[in-house]
Amino acid sequence: MISNKSIINSSLEVGLRSLIILNSIDPERIDIDRLVIYDYLVLHTEDVEKSYKSLHPSTPHRAGELLVRRQLLQEGINLMESKGLLDRHFLDNGIFYSANNLTGPFISYFETEYASLLHKYAVFIKEKFHHFNFSDLKNYVMNNLDEWGGEFENESILRGDID
């Protein structure tokens, strides 16, 4: 039986995107907070660098995506982990995720232009932000929310809702 459920904004879509991000930062490990921000920036790379065309539309108030992305991202990570496609690490400073020996071979099956751009943009975001500690990364995001279409959402983020 074929389901009518959409893959758009599903845990499957977000989980696959997470695999591409994790593979791009390999061998680094990343926590959910940084992954939420990286996921947003990979989709809206033009917000960071005007020479890149964002993968998703630059809609008004899109910065609000940061507020709703965490739970869906966690569901996607859990789905990919249940299939053995990423690793979870319990460290003294939190829970971190990383690519494993199956991540790269699995995502190599995705040969679309979209998948190729996701990888290219994930590498760009990693290179631009890997040296930022989380506080600096969060400040970067908060300082740019109004420009990114977050006219009202930034108030909630400033209260700490993305932590």
Neighbouring C-beta atoms of residue 92, cutoff 10 Å: 4
Which residues are bridge partners to 30 per DSSP? Answer: 97
Per-residue pLDDT band for 153 (boundaries 50, 70, 90) equals: very low
Average per-residue pLDDT for the chain: 83
H/E/C letters for each residue in 45-60? HHHCCCCCCCCCCCCC
Give backbone dihedrals phi and psi of 44, rounded to 5 degrees, phi first.
-120, 50
CATH number among 1.25.60, 1.20.120, 1.10.10, 2.40.10, domain 11-158: 1.10.10
* Model pLDDT, residue 18: 97
Cβ–Cβ < 8 Å for 7, 13 = yes
The CA-based angle 153-63-37, given to 5 degrees, is 120
Burial class (CB in 10 A: 0-12, 13-18, 19+), 12: middle
Per-residue pLDDT band for 157 (boundaries 50, 70, 90) equals: very low
- Residue reference for tokens 């829970």: 95
- Which one-letter DSSP state was computed for residue 130? T
Q: Per-residue pLDDT tens for 12-25?
A: 999 999 999 999 99
Burial class (CB in 10 A: 0-12, 13-18, 19+), 104: middle
Q: Per-residue pLDDT tens for 46-100?
A: 878 777 777 765 655 555 666 667 889 999 999 999 999 999 999 999 999 999 9
Domain ranges of the chain: 11-158
The CA-based angle 123-101-73, given to 5 degrees, is 55
Predicted TM-score (pTM) of this structure: 0.82
